[in-house]
């Protein structure tokens, strides 16, 4: 094979690879834009439930349920390790935050604790510009996979200012129709999420009988 023919073949291969790269980037860019549009209808919701089931190192299970209705919030977190369950429940009535702990050792309450764990619906694929989104689309890998009987996107290598760290080969499973995060895998951590909207009623925010708890100073 002479040099001229070899160069021609090399150029053809490069053109094919370039075309495939452009198709890959364009496909991902269109998908990311679609997911951003879909999730935008949920990020401003003020009545919602978020449920998360997280496994850490196959030894610790954390179940979290978060309720929000306007300026009221409630979060229940069960942490199960070595067969023992510790439950933390936080209430925010818009003016005061109370925290209740149910542990194997007893019941403790902190009144007006002034701290609430943040739970928000985040657009994981938001970027600072279209150019940044285009670059991230070029390196991202987006696959169609089955998740609990539904076809979703499994996305890796998409990095933005609003995503979690990506140094452990994280995989995010995203609902195609809503853009919502369904599952997240990072190293030994695996988390699954469920959502409900416009179903939370005021009775959810009724606090337990304080008489059953030992009041703890917030500084302890």
Asked whether residue 208 carries a pLDDT value surpassing 70, the answer given is yes
pLDDT digits 0-9 by tens, 38-81: 998 898 899 999 999 999 877 789 999 999 999 999 999 999 88
Record the pTM. Answer: 0.85
97-103/84-92 β-pairing: antiparallel
Over range 202-220, report the average pLDDT.
Answer: 85
* Mean pLDDT over the full length of the chain: 87
| 111-151 confidence digits (pLDDT tens) | 887 776 777 787 777 777 888 889 889 999 999 999 988 89
Q: Is there a contact between 145 and 152 (Cβ–Cβ < 8 Å)?
A: yes
């Amino acid at each position: 094979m002479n040099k001229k023919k070899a160069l021609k073949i090399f150029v053809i291969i490069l053109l094919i690879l370039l075309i495939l790269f452009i198709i890959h980037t364009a496909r991902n860019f269109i998908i990311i834009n679609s997911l951003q549009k879909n999730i935008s209808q949920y990020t401003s919701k003020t009545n919602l439930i978020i449920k998360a089931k997280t496994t850490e190192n196959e030894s610790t299970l954390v179940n979290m349920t978060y309720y929000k209705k306007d300026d009221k919030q409630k979060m229940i977190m069960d942490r199960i390790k070595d067969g023992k369950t510790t439950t933390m429940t936080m209430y925010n009535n818009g003016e005061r935050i109370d925290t209740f702990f149910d542990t194997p050792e007893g019941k403790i309450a902190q009144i007006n604790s002034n701290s609430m764990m943040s739970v928000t619906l985040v657009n994981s694929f938001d970027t600072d510009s279209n150019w940044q989104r285009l670059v991230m689309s070029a390196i991202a890998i987006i696959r169609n996979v089955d998740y609990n009987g539904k076809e979703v996107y499994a996305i890796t290598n998409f990095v933005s200012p609003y995503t979690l760290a990506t140094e452990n080969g994280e995989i995010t499973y995203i609902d195609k129709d809503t853009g919502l995060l369904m599952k997240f895998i990072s190293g030994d951590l695996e988390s699954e999420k469920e959502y409900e909207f416009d179903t939370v009623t005021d009775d959810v925010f009724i606090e337990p009988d304080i008489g059953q708890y030992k009041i703890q100073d917030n500084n302890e």
